[in-house]
Structure 1
Amino acid sequence: EEELLQAIGILPERLYPYYLLAKLYAEPEFYQVDKLRAAASVVLAKKPKVETTAIREMREEVKKIIDKGDFD
């Protein structure tokens, strides 16, 4: 988690560290709903310089994580 947050601090415009954080926070041993929501919202809302297949796949996977999650 610390390394990903450091990567975001260095390159905040990159989507990949936010995606990895969302996946990390979705894991049972690291589950943190507030942090998951925050990272996922950045992945879904951030405007990339170039829309690539990788970005579309990351967004689809984050949507699946959110859809299957129990956030109540």
Structure 2
Amino acid sequence: MLNGRDCGWLAGFPSRAEITEALVSGENRLELYVAVTLVWERKDGASTHLQIPATGITREPILETYK
């Protein structure tokens, strides 16, 4: 979530998300949520068959800007 706005979910590494639309002038608040398995988070038919190994954030997130 960025500034209270859901920016979607990502599976796989490395992951990148487009967050430009959620940015505001001044200070921004970024919240990262890591689910250990998608089946509990997404509750869809595919996730029950595509469970990924338990993972976590292993290094600091990198914020990149593009022009």
Point out the structure with the larger helix share: 1
Normalised TM-score (structure 2): 0.29
Over alpha carbons, which structure has the higher Rg? 2
Normalised TM-score (structure 1): 0.28
